Amino acid sequence: MKRIIIFILPIVLMTACVESLDNWNVDQKKATVVPPRTLFTNALKGIIDVVTTPNVNTNNFRMFVQYWATTTYLDEPRYNMTQRLYSQNQWYAAYRDALVDLKEAKRLINNDETLAPDLKANQLALVEIAEVYCWNFLVTTFGDVPYSEALDPNNVLPAYDDAATIYSDLLTRLDGAIASIKTTAGTFTNSNDVIYNGSAAKWIKFGNSLKLRMGMLLADVDAGKAKTLVEQAVAGGVITDNADRARFPYISAPPNNNPVSANLNPLFSSREDFVMASTIIDAMNDREDPRRQFYFTQVDGEYVGGNYGFSNAYADFSHVSAKIIEPTFEGLFMDASEVNFFLAEAAERGFIGGGAAAAAGYYNEAVEQSIIYWGGTQADADTYLARTDVAYATAAGDWKEKIGTQKWIALNNRGWDSWTEWRRLDFPKLSPPSGPSIPTALTIPNRMIYPVIEQTVNGAQWSTAAGRYNADSPAAKLFWDAN
């Protein structure tokens, strides 16, 4: 009897210390309530990670625009979208890792009665701008996507909205967000507003620059609307100096290090899957581009590109530079070079004043900002811009070719942005790999196919949307890609 009492007594004492056994299943080290500022930061990281990473299971845009070639695997530079899950992982990153967090952040901010009205308005505006960026990524990548019925846990089979209709609504939302920002009030704390450290004025510039980008995307399908959007964006103030660039500051320690470093830096990976493609290296070698040392490594004192779309020996060709694989190298949402190229194009199209003379000025500024951002000097930029094959007045082709080629060079390491600009401007002229080992004619993708899992979990809605893109063909063009 005494032994039974000794056995039961500890159990009685343990249960007497808690009000409910339910509490035993709660992990005290994991948060059950997350503040909106944390959700906001996590969402920004979720979307910039997918835009920046070179992981072939998520992002192959650098290969679409022929910055990189491969050493072993050929599915990616030959546009096999079903061999890996990268369309699905992009989809999940935007919806699950970014938009869901932003939606919840917005709900919590709206419900917080302790926030000062101007601070609340600013926080909601920042969340809205981030949401527009995420939706813009989805629409310009896939086309029609679930939007009006998306992010609703009670509707697991959302319809796919028309991409052009979504785009129009995003522009309205962006206008509302920009207009509601009060420069006299704060945003989130400096540690959570990782892009601008609490500067509402710089968020206005980012919002207007995003509006400029989205307006220019419509230039070939609705020039009148594009002109209005561009005029409004420029009048509101855009990013024309890299001090105002929208960047995500990665840190040295995983999992918050630069995702390029996570895949290529010997500190984190021993894989040797990629070399630089001859397409980009030859173009920069021909122009003696001063950015080569910041983009690429050398082989016996030379920059040497591999054969795009075919296997290449890793030791024989240039690789990604030490600068780009540095764990703390930042991810870019938008920079001054990109914006100045947009302004050069807008001047040529007559969306803003100045014509070709103004276009040349913006073009020069775009190239200069890129060179200096990467580590070059003003003298490097001046020498480069004086070359007859670079100078706006003498470089080959019309304004689309001049701007498109230099923008492609400047957007190195930003594969998704470069792919979008290549589809829009059609320059530089890129050809898919061809040869006897390639059984069928290939086409550089104009859109990403929908995740294969959508056929299973949302089949009827997927089928309707896929039918609008030639049975979900990557060759089908999106609504803004008119040329």
Q: What is the per-residue pLDDT for 156?
A: 92
Q: Which residues contact 420 (CB under 8 A, 6 or more apart)?
A: 140, 217
Instruction: State the pLDDT at residue 435.
Output: 86
Q: Say if residues 216 and 342 touch (Cβ distance below 8 Å).
A: yes
Whether residue 187 is found in the same domain as residue 273: no
Confidence of residue 31 (pLDDT cuts 50, 70, 90): low
Selection from 260, 238, 232, 279 nearest residue 366 by Cα: 238
Query: Pairing relation of β-strands 68-70 and 274-276?
Result: antiparallel
* pLDDT for the residue numbered 209: 98
Select from 267, 290, 316 the last residue of a domain: 316
Domain boundary among 275, 295, 316: 316
Chain mean position to CA 476: 21
Domain assignment present for residue 154? The answer is yes
Using alpha carbons, select from 118, 78, 365, 67 the residue that is nearest to residue 242. Answer: 365
Q: Per-residue pLDDT averaged across 170-177, rounded?
A: 98
CA gyration radius, the chain: 25
Model pLDDT for residues 183-228, shown as the tens digit of each residue = 999 899 877 899 999 999 999 999 999 999 999 999 999 999 999 9
Average pLDDT over residues 337-357: 98
First-last CA distance in the chain: 91
In this predicted model, what pLDDT tens digit does every residue of 155-169 receive, in sequence order?
Answer: 999 999 999 999 999
Cβ(65)–Cβ(422) under 8 Å? yes
DSSP 8-state assignment for residue 310 = S
Q: Predicted confidence band at 287 (pLDDT cuts at 50, 70, 90)? A: very high
Provide the CB-side half-sphere exposure for 101 (13 A, CA): 22
Alpha helices in 16-95 (DSSP H): 36-52, 61-64, 86-94
Average pLDDT of the chain to the nearest whole number: 93
The pLDDT assigned to 437 comes to 83
Residue 420 lies in a domain: no
Least confident segment among 22-26, 95-99, 158-162, 319-323: 22-26
pLDDT tens per residue, range 38-90: 999 999 999 999 999 999 999 999 999 999 999 999 999 999 999 889 999 99
Q: Identify whether residues 139 and 221 lie together within a single domain.
A: yes
Number of separate domains in the chain: 2
Q: What is the CATH number of the domain that holds 92?
A: 1.25.40.390
* pLDDT for the residue 1: 46
| Same structural domain, 165 and 228 | yes
- Confidence check: pLDDT of 426 > 90: yes
- Rounded to the nearest 5°, which phi and psi values hold at 361? -65, -45
Per-residue pLDDT tens for 366-404?
999 999 999 999 999 999 999 999 999 999 999 999 999
Whether 449 and 474 have beta carbons less than 8 Å apart is answered as: yes
* Share of residues in the chain with pLDDT > 70 (%): 93
pLDDT of residue 11: 46
Question: Which residue range(s) make up the domain with 93?
Answer: 36-68+83-236+446-467
Q: Do residue 125 and residue 187 come from a single domain?
A: yes
The rounded distance, in Å, linking the Cα atoms of 373 and 217 is: 25
Q: Looking at the domain assignment, is residue 180 inside a domain?
A: yes
Section 403-421 average pLDDT: 98
Residue 282 lies in a domain: yes
| 62 lies in the same domain as 195 | yes
Asked, for residue 310, whether it belongs to a domain, the answer is yes
Q: Are 192 and 295 members of one domain?
A: no
181 in the same domain as 272:
no
For range 127-138, the mean pLDDT? 98
List pLDDT tens digits, range 224-279. 999 999 999 999 999 999 999 999 999 999 999 999 999 999 999 999 999 999 99
Dihedral pair phi/psi, residue 193, rounded to 5°: -85, 75
Tell me, yes or no, whether 277 lies in a domain: yes
Return the pLDDT at 26: 54
Q: Is residue 4 part of a domain?
A: no
273 and 229 part of one domain: no
Distance CA 418, CA 332 (A): 12
In this predicted structure, the answer to whether residue 4 has a pLDDT above a threshold of 50 is no
**One domain for residues 94 and 208:** yes
| pLDDT (0 to 100) of residue 189 | 82
pLDDT band at 8 (very low <50, low <70, confident <90, very high): very low
In a domain, 27, yes or no: no
Tell how far CA 444 is from the center of its chain: 19
Q: Give pLDDT, residue 28.
A: 55
The answer to whether residues 182 and 300 belong to one domain is no
Instruction: State the pLDDT at residue 438.
Output: 86
pLDDT over 80 at 128, yes or no: yes
pTM (two decimals): 0.93
- What Cα–Cα distance (Å) separates residue 404 from each residue in 57, 342, 425? 28, 10, 6
- Is the domain of 132 the same as that of 206? yes
Distance (Å, whole) CA 380 – CA 36: 44
Q: How far apart are CA 49 and CA 59, in angstroms?
A: 10
Same domain, 103 and 182: yes
Instruction: Write down the pLDDT at residue 34.
Output: 85
